[in-house]
Amino acid sequence: MYWTLELASYLSDAPWPATKDELIDYAIRTGAPLEVVENLQEIEDDEEIFESIRDIWPDYPDEEDFLWNEEEY
């Protein structure tokens, strides 16, 4: 299983919290690439509830990880 920012982004609007089967269904319905579905199928725990993409891919960046060119006034 491998994740990239592009692949994980297909799950950013998923209906969290969700189970593995719900995420697979969401990925298929939204037309995510086959790699996303395959990655989700490789998750071992079928009964676990995932609260966010970070539960699946802990390295998923959040807003704090991006450098914005914002000046404080």
Give 73's pLDDT tier (boundaries 50, 70, 90).
low
Instruction: Report the pLDDT value the prediction gives residue 61, as an integer from 0 to 100.
Output: 81
Query: Is position 32 within any domain?
Result: yes
| 33: containing domain | 15-47
| Structural domain contains residue 71 | no
- Per-residue pLDDT tens digits for 7-41: 999 998 999 999 999 999 999 999 999 999 999 99
Tally the domains of the chain: 1
**42 belongs to a structural domain:** yes
Q: Is residue 22 part of a domain?
A: yes
Whether 7 is in a domain gets the answer no
| In a domain? residue 30 | yes
Predicted confidence at residue 11, as pLDDT, reads 94
CA distance 9 to 3: 10
> What is this structure's pTM?
0.81
Beta bridge partners of 19: 49
Residue 59 pLDDT > 80: yes
Q: Are the C-beta atoms of residues 10 and 42 closer than 8 Å to each other?
A: no
Question: Has residue 73 been placed in a domain?
Answer: no
Q: Which amino acid would we find at residue 11?
A: L
> Is the residue at 8 inside a domain?
no
Structural tokens at position 47: 């009964």
